[in-house]
Amino acid sequence: MTTRLLLIDDHALFRSGIAMVLAAGLSRIEIFEAASLEEALRCPADTLDLLLLDIQLPGINGLEGIAPLKHRWPEAKILMVSAFHEADSARNALARGAQGFISKTETPDRMLSIIAAQLCAEAPGEPASLSEQIRLTPRQCEVLDLLCQGLSNKMIGRRLNLSENTVRGHVQAMLATLQVSSRSEAAFIARRMGLVS
């Protein structure tokens, strides 16, 4: 079966680059491209498996575009793409129905593995089964909860009466455990798996 993917980004060079990475790394894939939400909604594909949606788009931005894209392709998963790590944007995207977040600073291999994992994931049961495999210490859970609220390491340290270096250590350990490379991704995963409320 062919996997159908739509890349929505106003930077043609990024679209071309990620399309080459996907074509080389995934078998049986059909890739559609769009520079704006308006162009994306005119995509001729009746069904799509995954949409890579840039947060910063001209006209209607990526966050505002989640709902119309979900309406057009209800079965498609949506991964947000951004050059910035903004916890608020990540939380907002997840609340609107996105499944994940990819930073444009990721290596091609890491991007490919995130996309491949999303394509292989079973939507309804995945968060619970994955959350059972995640083992965080009670202190890491406290730090993760505050991180998801958008607090800096310094502010988390003040709240928990810890040094900033100690908080940084907990954050790094958490990122490794969750197998992510940014605070925004950690917030996405934590909410998706029900690790934080």
Distance between CA atoms of residues 24 and 177, nearest Å? 29
End-to-end CA distance of the chain: 37
pLDDT-based confidence at residue 110 (cuts at 50, 70, 90): confident
Domains and CATH numbers, the chain: 3-120 (3.40.50.2300), 138-193 (1.10.10.10)
pLDDT tier at 173 (50, 70, 90 boundaries)? confident
pTM recorded for the entire structure: 0.63
**Which pairs count as long-range contacts for 170-178, CB under 8 Å and 24+ apart, including other chains?**
170/139, 170/140, 170/143, 171/143, 171/147, 173/140, 174/136, 174/140, 174/143, 174/144, 174/147, 177/134, 177/135, 177/136, 177/140, 178/134
Average pLDDT, the chain: 83
Please say whether the beta carbons of 119 and 50 come within 8 A: yes
* pLDDT above 90: residue 101: no
* The predicted structure's pLDDT at residue 121: 65
pLDDT class of 32 with cuts at 50, 70, 90: very high
The answer to whether 154 and 163 have CB atoms below 8 angstroms apart is no
